[in-house]
């Protein structure tokens, strides 16, 4: 009963059944004939029949003995008491009908070997369980349909949120159905369009700024080359290199967020071995510690760039990086390092653009602070995700998970 639809249905069922029970009970007490009145009316009929039968000259239709069915002591007592109250006590007995236990037979004594036998259906309180069960089933079906209709806009919102693509774009919804559903779909489509325009505007701004910085940076580099003092020239060139890395990384981030690249079947363990070997040749402390065959669908160039960024981070900031690959429903790439880790309160910020965990160290280690941001964008576009946590003893643990796919024979040359 945690869903709104179930709660609305339960509320409707409870409310309608409560109203039906109240009305039914009121009608029963307001309009029913009391049981005592029915008994006295039947007793009057027996008294009248007894007097008429006693005056009959011939005993036709009378029985020489009372009915021999199973006695009903309660009905016998009730009818006798009623005849006493009416001032004409009757000598009678009541027994169950042998062929139908719902019917009773009253035997009224008229004299020696003269008995008047009368069949009757004893009064009883009405049984309303069947009525209430029918009402509950009918109301339940109606309430479920009503709750489904009432919660349809909320279900539309839920499905829209679940269908958001990795790049944060909401799919366009069909504006059809009831008025409230059409209004909800129109509002979501309008929100999606505004968000898309805002994101595109931001990306264009970042790309334009990064692109426009290249020309003045190039001029600054040329002028710095003519600075006579070697120390000043080195500082100028270092700052210019930092600005160029920032501009390049900003443009690269925009490309990853806005460009839709084709995917191919990639054998991840071979790709990891290739990147690790290349980085070791460049002097980075990278080791491969156990892999298994695993395949994913992704853009090869983008995934290579993401893994390269993450491995370089582990070797640069974490002294030494160790990578492993495991398969299954999801392909998991785990990168561990031997660094100092990151303060727990800063782990949530590691994917923010230009974030640096160590402000003092950031000046000594080159970089724009966009490597993790770009890597996560690439991995999410491939349908996966990345998490970063501190190791149990020391260092950082970077875990990349991507949906695994089966390798088809026709795709053997793609890996």
16 burial class (0-12, 13-18, 19+ CB within 10 angstroms)?
middle
Domain with residue 190: its CATH number is: 1.10.287.130
Q: How confident is the model at residue 252 (pLDDT cuts 50, 70, 90)?
A: low
Question: How many domains does one find in the chain?
Answer: 3
CA distance 362 to 354: 10
Q: What is the pLDDT of residue 401?
A: 93
pLDDT of residue 276: 92
Of these ranges, 134-138, 152-156, 274-278, the one predicted with the greatest mean pLDDT is 274-278
Q: Tell me: do 64 and 179 sit in the same domain.
A: no
- In a domain? residue 390: yes
Q: Do 200 and 72 lie in a common domain?
A: no
Cα R_g (the chain), whole angstroms: 45
Question: Do 267 and 241 fall into the same domain?
Answer: no
pLDDT at 410: 47
Whether 6 shows a pLDDT value over 50: the answer reads: yes
* pLDDT for 51: 86
253 within a domain of the structure (yes/no):
yes
- The mean of the pLDDT values for the chain is 77
pLDDT at 333: 93
Out of 207, 231, 260, a domain closes at: 260
For residue 325, being part of any structural domain is answered with yes
Asked if residue 389 has pLDDT above 80, the reply is yes
Confidence of residue 273 (pLDDT cuts 50, 70, 90): very high
Residue 188 lies in a domain: yes
Distance CA 57, CA 48 (A): 16
In a domain, 147, yes or no: no
pLDDT beyond 60 at 351: yes
Q: Stretch 221-232: mean pLDDT, rounded?
A: 72
Mean pLDDT check: name the lowest of 248-252, 265-269, 391-395: 248-252
User: 44 and 79: one domain?
Assistant: yes
Residue 239 has pLDDT above 80, yes or no: no
Please indicate, yes or no, if residue 145 is contained in any of the structural domains.
no
Q: What is the pLDDT of residue 372?
A: 79
Residue 352 has pLDDT above 50, yes or no: yes
For range 8-23, the mean pLDDT? 78
Which pLDDT does position 150 carry in this prediction? 72
Do 256 and 267 fall within a single domain? no
Residue 17 has pLDDT above 90, yes or no: no
Give the closest residue to 48 by CA, choosing from 11, 104, 19, 90: 90
CA dist., res. 267 & res. 304, Å (int): 12
pLDDT for the residue 345:
80
Q: pLDDT-based confidence at 202, cuts 50/70/90?
A: low
Question: Is the four-CA dihedral 198, 200, 203, 208 of positive or negative sign?
Answer: negative
Which tens digits make up the pLDDT trace of 23-58?
Answer: 777 766 665 555 677 888 888 888 888 888 877 655
Note the pLDDT tens digit of each residue in 332-345.
Answer: 999 999 888 888 88
| Residue 111 lies in domain | 33-120
In which element (H, E) is residue 203 found?
helix 179-224
Please answer whether residues 316 and 358 qualify as being in contact, where contact means their C-beta atoms are separated by less than 8 angstroms.
no
Question: 289 and 324: one domain?
Answer: yes
Same structural domain, 337 and 400: yes
What is the pLDDT confidence band of residue 192, given thresholds at 50, 70 and 90? Answer: confident
Residue 294 shares a structural domain with residue 256: no
Put simply, whether the predicted model's pTM sits higher than 0.85 gets the answer no
Which of 209, 234, 260 marks a domain boundary? Answer: 260
Per-residue pLDDT tens digits for 292-313: 999 998 888 888 888 988 998 8
**DSSP element (H, E) containing 258:** helix 230-258
Q: Which residue has the higher pLDDT, 74 or 37?
A: 74
Does one domain contain both 384 and 277?
Answer: yes
| Whole-Å CA distances, 33 to 29, 36, 46, 208 | 9, 9, 19, 91
Say whether both 224 and 310 belong to one domain: no
pLDDT of residue 362: 44
Residue 264, pLDDT above cutoff 60: yes
SS (H, E, C) 25-51: HHHHHHHCCCHHHHHHHHHHHHHHHHH
Summarize the chain as % helix, strand, coil (round to 5).
55, 15, 30
**Domain contains 286:** yes
Backbone CA torsion sign across 265, 267, 272, 277? negative
Residue 193 has pLDDT above 70, yes or no: yes
Decide if pLDDT at 73 tops 70.
yes
Residue 15 lies in a domain: no
Q: Answer with the one of 102, 120, 138 that is the final residue of a domain.
A: 120
243 with 283, same domain?
Answer: no
Which residues lie closer than 8 Å to 275 by C-beta, 6 or more apart? Answer: 304, 307, 308, 311
The reported pLDDT for the residue numbered 34 is: 58
Select, from the ranges 136-145, 282-291, 368-377, the one with the highest average predicted confidence (pLDDT).
282-291
Share of the chain above pLDDT 70, in %: 74
Q: Domain check: are 255 and 290 in the same one?
A: no
- CATH number assigned to the domain comprising residue 340: 3.30.565.10
Could you give the C-alpha distances from 295 to 49, 97, 140, 181, in angstroms and in order? Answer: 98, 83, 50, 41
Q: Which range (32-46, 168-182, 354-368) has the least confidence?
A: 354-368
First to last CA, the chain: 48
**Count of CB atoms situated within 10 Å of the CB of 187:** 14
């Amino acid at each position: 009963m945690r869903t709104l639809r179930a709660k609305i249905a339960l509320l409707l069922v409870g409310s309608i059944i409560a109203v039906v029970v109240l009305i039914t009970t009121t009608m029963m007490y307001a309009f029913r004939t009391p049981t005592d009145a029915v008994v006295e009316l039947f007793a009057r009929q027996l008294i009248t029949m007894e007097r008429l039968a006693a005056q009959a000259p011939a005993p036709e239709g009378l029985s020489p003995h009372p009915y021999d069915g199973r006695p009903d002591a309660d009905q016998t007592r009730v009818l006798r008491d009623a005849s006493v109250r009416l001032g004409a006590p009757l000598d009678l007995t009541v027994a169950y009908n042998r062929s139908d236990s719902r019917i009773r037979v009253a035997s009224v004594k008229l004299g020696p070997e003269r008995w008047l036998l009368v069949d009757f259906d004893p009064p009883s309180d009405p049984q309303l369980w069947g009525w209430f069960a029918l009402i509950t089933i009918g109301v339940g079906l109606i309430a479920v349909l009503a709750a489904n209709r009432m919660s349809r806009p909320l279900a539309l919102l839920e499905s829209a949120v679940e269908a958001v693509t990795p790049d944060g774009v909401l799919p366009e919804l069909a504006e059809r159905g009831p008025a409230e559903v059409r209004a909800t779909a129109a509002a979501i489509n309008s929100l999606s369009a505004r968000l898309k325009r805002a994101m595109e505007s931001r990306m264009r701004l970042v790309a334009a700024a990064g692109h426009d910085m290249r020309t003045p940076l190039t001029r600054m580099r040329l002028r710095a080359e003519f600075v006579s003092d070697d120390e000043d020239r080195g500082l100028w060139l270092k700052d210019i290199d930092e600005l160029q890395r920032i501009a390049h990384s900003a443009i690269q981030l925009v490309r990853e967020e806005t460009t839709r690249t084709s995917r191919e079947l990639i054998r991840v363990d071979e790709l990891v071995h290739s990147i690790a070997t290349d980085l070791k040749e460049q002097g980075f402390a990278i080791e491969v510690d156990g892999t298994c065959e695993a395949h994913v669908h992704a853009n090869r160039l983008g995934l290579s760039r993401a893994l390269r960024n993450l491995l370089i981070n582990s070797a640069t900031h974490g002294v030494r990086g160790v990578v492993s690959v495991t398969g299954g429903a999801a392909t998991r790439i785990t990168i561990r390092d031997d660094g100092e880790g990151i303060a727990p309160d800063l782990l949530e910020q590691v994917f923010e653009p230009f974030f640096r965990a160590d402000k003092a160290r950031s000046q000594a280690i080159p970089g724009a602070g966009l490597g993790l941001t770009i890597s996560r964008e690439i991995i999410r576009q491939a349908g996966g995700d990345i998490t970063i946590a501190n190791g149990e003893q020391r260092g950082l643990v970077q875990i990349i998970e991507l949906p695994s796919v089966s390798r088809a024979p026709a795709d053997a040359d793609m890996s």
